[in-house]
Amino acid sequence: MEDEKKASAVSDMGAWAMNVISSVGIIMANKQLMSPSGYAFSFATTLTGFHFAVTALVGFVSNVSGYSASKHVPLWELLWFSVVANMSITGMNLSLMLNSVGFYQISKLSMIPVVCVMEWILHSKHYSREVKMAVVVVVVGVGVCTVTDVKVNAKGFLCACIAVLSTSLQQITIGSLQKKYSIGSFELLSKTAPIQALSLLLLGPFIDYYLNGQFIANYKVSSGAIFFILLSCSLAVFCNVSQYLCIGRFSAVSFQVLGHMKTVCVLTLGWLLFDSELTLKNILGMALAVLGMVVYSWAVEVEKQANPNVIPHLKAKESLTEEDIRLLKDGVENIRLKDVELGESKN
């Protein structure tokens, strides 16, 4: 039993580490690719289409070679998820273009409470006082170190609302689909990536033209730009897989807290690699955010100890087998699995 717990803990840490490293890496690569001082590839939506195209290709090769199994998920659910996910990507890009950086950061910070409310509405989840306290500390800390000027307009506010709601719903849906169809994270990603890639590659160039007034066909390609596009796409595979893996193992709220850890890493690496300014305010905010993440980890442990007999949601990697289903149907209800969820459903 102890060996299983240790193996599970190592696997969990691996999922967290893969997401943080790949996400921070892709941000650094994209900064070099998209900045005017780099290769000025200012086509973010189309680049995301490239990301999902490479991810879809990796999923296809994995399925054909037998490394992953394909399970049935209704097409309408895959289409619905892809629409929500693409709205999230487009909404974020539009929000960044129309709003000040400060308001954009505030909209990102609002995702944690929005996810909490949506999970309460959709899945009747409730959160302990410790978890709520930790979330507040993380949000305040990241807000202190990232929010500067705050300017808002009606069109930008609408785009920010759409971005926050669609992103929150997308992350909740990832976990819901994995549990509903007992499908692993990579298998689900293999099914959704082709739909997202096709739609983003078709619509992305026009969205990017609206955002920056430039058409991708007029971009002068260089060997350096191609290298960073391929690097970005390669990192995106790990980023996408780890996102599905983390949400399947933990929850959408946990993934948002992890996202703020990435913000701290990006600020630190920006200071180390790109000579970005790091003020005392930034340092204090990052310290407060890290403190909040420590409190958050403690809060999850407290909740696990307070509810030791509650059967948690199954991890994505541990999908139900036919034997599991038969045992559950026979009324076996005392199976204990590791509880890593922030709040439990009342259903």
How many Å apart are CA 53 and CA 8, to the nearest integer? Answer: 31
Contacts of residue 225, Cβ cutoff 8 Å, sequence gap at least 6: 33, 39, 41
Q: What is the pLDDT of residues 260-308, one digit of tens each?
A: 666 676 667 666 766 666 677 777 777 777 777 777 767 766 666 666 5
**What is the value of pTM for the model shown?**
0.69
pLDDT at position 15: 75
Please tell me whether residues 158 and 234 are part of one structural domain: yes
pLDDT at position 80: 92
Handedness of CA 48, 238, 162, 174 (dihedral sign): positive
Helix (H, G, I), strand (E, B) or coil at 181: coil
Do 87 and 166 form a contact (C-beta atoms < 8 A)? Answer: yes
Please tell me whether residues 104 and 116 are part of one structural domain: yes
For residue 347, being part of any structural domain is answered with no
State the distance between the two ends of the chain, measured CA to CA, in whole angstroms.
28
Please tell me whether residues 325 and 247 are part of one structural domain: no
Please tell me whether residues 259 and 336 are part of one structural domain: no
For residue 346, being part of any structural domain is answered with no
DSSP 8-state code for residue 134: H
Please tell me whether residues 172 and 231 are part of one structural domain: yes
* Total residue length of the chain: 347
Structural domain boundaries enclosing 331: 312-341
Please tell me whether residues 295 and 186 are part of one structural domain: yes
Q: How far is CA 334 from CA 84, 316, 331, 343, in A?
A: 37, 20, 9, 20
Please tell me whether residues 241 and 146 are part of one structural domain: yes
Please tell me whether residues 101 and 216 are part of one structural domain: yes
How many Å apart are CA 167 and CA 172, to the nearest integer? Answer: 9
Closest by alpha carbon to 316, among 190, 115, 122, 176?
A: 176
Please tell me whether residues 80 and 218 are part of one structural domain: yes
How many Å apart are CA 72 and CA 29, to the nearest integer? Answer: 35
pLDDT-flagged residues of the chain (< 70): 1-9, 100-102, 105, 142, 145-152, 248-263, 265-267, 269-271, 273-278, 297, 300-347
Cα 302 to its chain centre, rounded Å, is 25
Please tell me whether residues 8 and 59 are part of one structural domain: yes
Do 289 and 153 form a contact (C-beta atoms < 8 A)? Answer: no
Domain count, the chain: 2
How many Å apart are CA 125 and CA 346, to the nearest integer? Answer: 7
pLDDT at position 267: 67
Backbone φ, ψ for residue 221 (5° rounding) = -80, 140
Please tell me whether residues 207 and 335 are part of one structural domain: no
Please tell me whether residues 202 and 319 are part of one structural domain: no
For residue 266, being part of any structural domain is answered with yes
